[in-house]
Amino acid sequence: MNVINPATGEQLDSYDEQTWSDVDSALERASEAFEEWRKQSIRERERLLETAGRVLRNNKNEYAEIITLEMGKPITQARAEVEKCAWVCDHYAEYGSTYLEDRHHPSPPGTTVKTVHQPLGPVLAVMPWNFPFWQVFRFAAPYLTAGNVGVLKHASNVPGCAIAIEDIFREAGYPEGVFQSLLVSSDLVADIIADDRIRAATLTGSGPAGRAVAAAAGEKIKKTVLELGGSDPFVVLDDADIESAAETGTQARNQNGGQSCIAAKRFVVHTEIYDKFIEALIDSFESLVVGDPTDENTDVGPQARVDLLTELHEQVEASIEAGATLVTGGEPLDREGAFYPPTILTDVPDGCPVDSEETFGPVAAVYEVADEREAITLANNTEFGLGASVWTADRERGEHVAKQIDAGCVYINQLVKSDPRVPFGGVGESGYGRELSEIGIKEFVNRKTVWIE
C-alpha cells in the first residue's frame, strides 16, 4: 500500500499488504480476546475508553499530521477531528453503563422479567478515508464498550491512520486482540465476513460497497449497519437569515474539501431571496483559502486522490454540458496536487450528474423554487436520505418542513453533523441502522429477555 500525499503527489510511505494467513491469525486473536473481554465489567471498559480519550488529546498534533499528510485534510480540521474522537470516548465512558442497564418489564406477581444487553462478538468495520479517525472511533467507542471486539479494514490510502488507531487502544491499556487493524485489500472483505469468527459488520462508504457487505453478511445472517452516500438538501426559505445561511452553507459544502457524506450538496432557495443568497454564497465561496493543508490559514485542501478529482471534474463538465451555469470555480487548479476550487453551479437541469449523483468535493448545485411545497418536493427528489438542513426565522415552520423531508436527520438553522449524543444514520440509498447515542451502542448487542419465575 503506497501512501501518496495528495497535496504534492509525492509518495510518503509504503506498507506491506497482509495476506489471508495474517487475517486468519487476527481473527483467532479477536475470537480469543472476546471470550475474556465480554466478562470484563462495563465500568472497567469505560475506564479504558476514558484513557483512550486522554491518549488522543495528548498526541493530538501527531495524529492530525498523519491525517493531513495521508488524505489532505487542512491541519486545523484534522485537529478538530481528533478532538471529536476524544469527545466520543468521553461520552461513552460516562454513559455506556447507563445505556446498557437492564430494562425491567411488567410481569406476574412473584416474577422478574428484564432485557439484558450482551455483546455479539468480533465486529468487522470497513471504514473510509474522509474522516479516517472519527469514522473509526464512532464505531469503536460504543461497540467495544458494549463488550464486542473490533477488527478494522480501513481504506487503503490511510494505512498510517489505521496503525495509529490500533496503537491508541494498545497504549490505553486494552487487552491484545480487542481492537486490530488489518491492512488488506477490499477483495478479502467478503471472505472475512463469511468467517464464523466474525459476528457482525459495519460499513461507512459508497453504495456499491454497502451492497457488497450487506449481501455477504446476509448470506450468513449476520447483523449489519450501513452508512452510505448522501445528496443532502440545504433548504433556504424566504424568511431565512441570508448571511448566516450563506456562511454556514459555505462551511457545510466545503469542509474537508467537500468530501463528506453529510455535506450540503443541493442548495434549494426560495425565489424571493434567491438573488441575494447567491450573491452572498459566491462571496463566501470565493473568500476561502485553497492551498497547502499543513498551513494554519488553509480552508480547503486537496482532494484525497487524483482519481477522485478527475471524477468530480467530469461530473461538473457533464452538468455544464447538460445546461447548468458555472458561477465560480469549475477548473482544477494549475499546481501540484489534487486541488479543486470551491465551485457553484446554478440552473441545474434535472438528471445531470450534480443533480442525481453524489458529488464528493467542493461543488454546490443551487436551485430556485417558488414556494415551500416546491422546496420540499425538490429536497426529496433523490435516492439518498442521509441528512438535510432547513433555514427559516420561524422554528415551528422549520420543524413542519423537517418532518416532510425524507432523511435520517434534519437540522434547522444548523449544518448537518454527527454528535455522540444523538442517533446518526440514513434511509433509502443512504443505508440503515444508527450509530451514536443509546441507539448506536445497542446495534450490536443481543437484547436478551430473561424471565425469572
Active site residue ranges = 227, 261
DSSP code at position 424:
B
Query: Would you say 267 and 245 are in contact if contact means Cβ atoms under 8 Å apart?
Result: no
The sign of the CA dihedral 221, 222, 225, 230 is negative
3-class DSSP state of 261:
coil
All 3 cell numbers of residue 240?
431565512
All 3 cell numbers of residue 16?
506491506
Distances (CA, A) of 55 to 42, 63, 160, 264: 20, 10, 17, 32
Distance of CA 281 to the CA centre of its chain: 25
- Residue 300 CA to residue 310 CA, distance in Å, equals 17
All 3 cell numbers of residue 171?
497504549
> Which stretches of 113-158 are DSSP H helices?
134-145
Query: Would you say 331 and 295 are in contact if contact means Cβ atoms under 8 Å apart?
Result: no
Write the DSSP assignment of 161-176 as a string of letters: HHHHHHHHHHHTTPPT
Query: Would you say 152 and 166 are in contact if contact means Cβ atoms under 8 Å apart?
Result: yes
3-class DSSP state of 296:
coil
3-state helix vs strand vs coil in the chain, percent to 5:
45, 20, 35
